[in-house]
């Protein structure tokens, strides 16, 4: 899959389907190579990906991430093949093990050991039958990987990794594990706001919903933060490490740090300075696309 260096990562669940399609078209027209969509408790990611692919011409639609607990491996393989065959190879499957509070607390399922569970799932996909028309090129798969063991699995059993909510230092570590021949698709939250206090105040409500999830907390601790940095919406040190905020030049500098560290693709998630979560900040997307 020939994915460009820059994409967009965004929750589209708050938009009507027609508005989401128009947003995808606009993102495509700006020259971004990919649009990443999540799976939480909103739209079905594969159904929504089909809609977005049908309404665009060259944009890659990627799942960041599809939760493996929500469907058995053969169903995921069928979706991956179908979407790629229908779109001419424009669907990128990103999968992950999600988080225990979501899997057990929201879905009522049993959460297993992350690396072993993902390995078994990938093996299930590899062994699942598929009798539909196959896509012309074997579809690519990346997995949500933060820790060394999951990164090693993404190297050995997949086409690469999709780290979320990390930093250029983490990108360097991930790149060293993956090696030069794998996709390293890094998500980066951005805030086009130069006032430090305002930027951090905008970042904290976004960070808050992730701060209680063990997989992220463990990774931030590996990055050199401590428990105190992860309280009350995150310390300034935490915000500055995980968000790219400031002028357009400063945000571009952060993106370049990811590329220099080994990222093959960075998908930016813009935070709207209006404070309205769910409203794409087109000013930032348009400026960074230039």
Cα dihedral: 127, 129, 130, 134 (round 10): 40
Per the domain annotation, does 115 fall within a domain? Answer: yes
- Residue 275: inside a domain, yes or no? yes
Distance of CA 272 to the CA centre of its chain: 18
Q: What angle do CA 144, 158, 155 make, to 5 degrees?
A: 85
Rounded Cα distance, 27 and 52, in Å: 11
* Secondary structure (3-state) at 89: coil
Helix 73-87 with 45-54: angle, nearest 10 deg: 0
What is the spatial distance between Cα 290 and Cα 58, in angstroms, rounded to a whole number? 18
C-alpha 146/C-alpha 267 separation (Å) is 16
* pTM higher than the cut 0.85: yes
Residues 245 and 203: their CA atoms lie apart, in Å, by: 9
**pLDDT number for residue 275:** 63
CA-based nearest residue to 37, from 29, 26, 45: 45
Cα angle, residue 49 at apex, residues 143 and 178 outer, rounded to 5°: 20
Residue pLDDT tens, the chain, 290 long: 899 999 999 999 999 999 999 999 999 999 999 999 999 999 999 999 999 999 999 999 999 999 999 999 999 999 999 999 999 999 999 999 999 999 999 999 999 999 999 999 999 999 999 999 999 999 999 999 999 999 999 999 999 999 999 999 999 999 999 999 999 999 999 999 999 999 999 999 999 999 999 999 999 999 999 999 999 999 999 999 999 999 999 999 999 999 999 999 999 999 998 866 568 999 999 999 97
Q: Is residue 1 part of a domain?
A: no
- Does 199 map to a domain? yes
- CA-CA distance, 48 to 50, in Å (whole number)? 5
Residues 6+ apart with CB under 8 A from 207: 233, 234, 238, 239, 242, 243
Report pLDDT for 276: 61
Residue 277 lies in a domain: yes
CATH number at residue 110: 3.20.20.30
DSSP alpha helix (H) spans, the chain = 17-29, 45-54, 73-87, 100, 114-127, 148-157, 168-178, 196-208, 214-222, 236-242, 248-261, 282-289
> Rounded to whole angstroms, how far apart are CA atoms 98 and 213?
9
Q: Domain for residue 128, yes or no? A: yes
Which has the closest alpha carbon to 213: 221, 223, 203, 224?
221
- Residue 161, classed as helix, strand or coil, is strand
What pLDDT, on a 0 to 100 scale, did the predictor assign at position 216?
A: 97
What residues contact 152, with CB distance under 8 A and at least 6 apart? 177
Q: 245 and 191 in contact (C-beta within 8 Å)? A: yes
Task: Give the distance, in angstroms, between the CA of residue 146 and the centroid of all CA atoms in the same chain.
Answer: 12
Measure the CA–CA gap between 277 and 70, rounded to whole angstroms.
26
CA distance 192 to 247: 6
Domain presence at residue 274 = yes
- How many structural domains are present in the chain? 1
Determine the structural domain holding residue 223 and report its residue range: 6-289
């Amino acid at each position: 899959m020939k994915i460009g260096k820059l994409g967009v990562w965004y929750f589209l669940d708050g938009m009507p389907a027609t508005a989401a399609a128009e947003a995808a078209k606009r993102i495509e027209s700006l020259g971004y190579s990919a649009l990443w969509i999540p799976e939480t408790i909103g739209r079905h990611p594969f159904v929504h990906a089909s809609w977005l692919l049908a309404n665009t011409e060259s944009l890659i639609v990627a799942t960041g991430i599809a939760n493996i607990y929500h469907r058995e491996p053969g169903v995921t393989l069928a979706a991956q093949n179908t979407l790629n065959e229908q779109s001419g190879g424009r669907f990128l499957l990103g999968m992950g093990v999600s988080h225990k509070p979501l899997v057990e607390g929201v879905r009522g399922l049993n959460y297993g050991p992350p690396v072993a569970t993902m390995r078994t799932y990938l093996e299930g996909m590899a062994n699942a039958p598929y009798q539909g028309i196959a896509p012309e090129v074997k579809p690519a798969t990346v997995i949500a990987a933060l820790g060394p063991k999951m990164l090693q699995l993404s190297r050995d059993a997949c086409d690469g990794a999709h780290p979320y909510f990390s930093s250029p230092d983490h990108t360097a570590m991930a790149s060293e594990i993956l090696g030069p021949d794998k996709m390293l698709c890094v998500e980066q939250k951005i805030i086009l706001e130069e006032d430090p206090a305002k930027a951090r105040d905008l970042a904290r409500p976004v960070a808050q919903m992730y701060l209680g999830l063990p997989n992220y907390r463990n990774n931030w601790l590996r990055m050199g933060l401590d428990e105190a940095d992860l309280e009350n919406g995150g310390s300034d040190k935490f915000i500055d490490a995980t968000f790219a905020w400031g002028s357009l030049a400063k945000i571009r500098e952060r993106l370049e740090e990811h590329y220099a560290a080994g990222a093959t693709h960075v998908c930016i998630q813009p935070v709207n300075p209006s404070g309205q979560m769910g409203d794409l900040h087109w000013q930032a997307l348009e400026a960074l696309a230039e």
